[in-house]
């Protein structure tokens, strides 16, 4: 059997960027990017593994040296993947425990997930295993587009996760594994493009839920709730609670 092609690539692609603050929660402008596919990507992983740095490199082409724990940031960017235009809404999530309350919502809304750990931290690898289980449970779908990213590959002398371990997990989960470095911009575009390809493939195969990206859009949820409440308030037979 021919050896499996390694997923450890050197970067070959630089995306054209249209970065601006996302409207992850408020929906995209219906008229913009009418002919392109639009997907919601969620970047997840333990605190300090480099989620924000990978996202900033991908979207803005910039390196951030300082560490400022994320609460939640979102970005919108357009890239060409296999000659198709794809608009990505990227949600950079908080790795720190105190900010994880929104996780269920991200997982329901997201269509593709970048699971990031640091090759210098075994515990960060263990954390993405839990995140993957949660994604599959919440979406009730074993075939969610996922890319596993072992970041900080430039810190080879501090490596504590052997590359073989990453590949073993990749095989077990059926998800591609890349070792990347936000610092040197190694494999930064590749991880996002791989995710785009998976999402496109899923949609082309008719396996994607057409409303998935919007299903748990909080603004739609609150609008619908408001309409339901208004409808209920107009009902003259509605039982009322009176405080005397």
Ligand X SMILES: Nc1nc2c(ncn2[C@@H]2O[C@H](COP(=O)(O)OP(=O)(O)OP(=O)(O)O)[C@@H](O)[C@H]2O)c(=O)[nH]1
Select from 134, 141, 154, 214 the one that contacts ligand X (CB under 6 A): 154
Phi, psi (rounded to 5 degrees) for 197:
-60, -45
- The site that binds ligand X (CB under 6 A) totals a number of residues, namely 24
Q: Give the nearer residue to ligand X in terms of CB position, either 45 or 145.
A: 45
CA distance 193 to 187: 10
Select from 27, 69, 130, 218 the one that contacts ligand X (CB under 6 A): 69
For position 53 contacting ligand X by CB under 6 A, the verdict is yes
For position 181 contacting ligand X by CB under 6 A, the verdict is yes
Asked if 80 contacts 164 with a C-beta cutoff of 8 angstroms, the reply is: no
Select from 28, 64, 80, 102 the one that contacts ligand X (CB under 6 A): 64
For position 48 contacting ligand X by CB under 6 A, the verdict is yes
For position 19 contacting ligand X by CB under 6 A, the verdict is no
For position 158 contacting ligand X by CB under 6 A, the verdict is no
Q: 3-state SS string over the chain?
A: CCCCCCCCCCCCCCCCCCCEECCCCCCCCCCCCCCCEEEEEEEEECCCCCHHHHHHHHHHCCCCCCCCCCCEEEEEEEEEECCEEEEEEEEEECCCHHHHHHHHHHHHHCCEEEEEEECCCHHHHHHHHHHHHHHHHHHCCCCCCEEEEEECCCCHHHCCCCHHHHHHHHHHHCCCEEECECCCCECHHHHHHHHHHHHHHHHHCCCCCCCHHHHCCHHHHHHHHHHHHHHHHHCCCCCCCCCC
For position 102 contacting ligand X by CB under 6 A, the verdict is no
For position 94 contacting ligand X by CB under 6 A, the verdict is yes
Please name which of 172, 107, 169, 192 lies closest in space to residue 141, comparing C-alpha atoms: 107
Q: CB 23 → ligand X: shortest distance, Å? A: 21
Q: CB 181 → ligand X: shortest distance, Å? A: 4
For position 97 contacting ligand X by CB under 6 A, the verdict is no
Question: What string marks each residue from 188 to 227 as x (binds ligand X by CB under 6 A) or -?
Answer: ----------------------------------------
Q: Give the nearer residue to ligand X in terms of CB position, either 104 or 211.
A: 104
Q: CB 55 → ligand X: shortest distance, Å? A: 8
Q: Give the nearer residue to ligand X in terms of CB position, either 81 or 116.
A: 116
For position 141 contacting ligand X by CB under 6 A, the verdict is no
Q: Which residues bind ligand X (CB under 6 A)?
A: 45, 47-53, 64-67, 69-70, 94-96, 151-152, 154-155, 181-183
């Amino acid at each position: 059997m021919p050896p499996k092609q390694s997923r450890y690539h050197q970067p070959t692609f630089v995306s054209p960027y249209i970065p601006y603050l996302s409207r992850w929660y408020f929906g995209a402008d219906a008229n913009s990017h009418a002919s392109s596919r639009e997907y919601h990507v969620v970047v997840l992983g333990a605190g300090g593994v480099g989620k924000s740095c990978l996202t900033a490199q991908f979207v803005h082409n910039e390196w951030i040296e300082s560490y400022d724990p994320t609460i939640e940031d979102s970005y919108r960017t357009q890239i060409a993947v296999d000659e198709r235009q794809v608009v990505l809404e990227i949600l950079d999530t908080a790795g720190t425990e105190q900010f994880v309350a929104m996780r269920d919502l991200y997982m329901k809304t997201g269509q593709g997930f970048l699971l990031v750990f640091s090759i210098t931290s075994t515990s960060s690898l263990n954390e993405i295993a839990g995140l993957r289980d949660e994604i599959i449970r919440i979406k009730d779908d074993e075939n969610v587009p996922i890319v596993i990213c072992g970041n900080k590959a430039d810190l080879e002398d501090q490596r504590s996760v052997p590359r073989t371990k990453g590949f073993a997990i990749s095989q077990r989960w059926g998800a591609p594994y890349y070792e990347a470095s936000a610092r040197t911009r190694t494999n930064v575009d590749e991880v996002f493009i791989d995710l785009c390809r998976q999402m496109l493939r899923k949609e082309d195969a008719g396996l994607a839920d057409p409303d998935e990206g919007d299903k748990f859009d909080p603004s739609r949820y609150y609008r619908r709730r408001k309409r339901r409440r208004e409808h209920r308030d107009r009902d003259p037979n509605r039982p009322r609670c009176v405080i005397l």
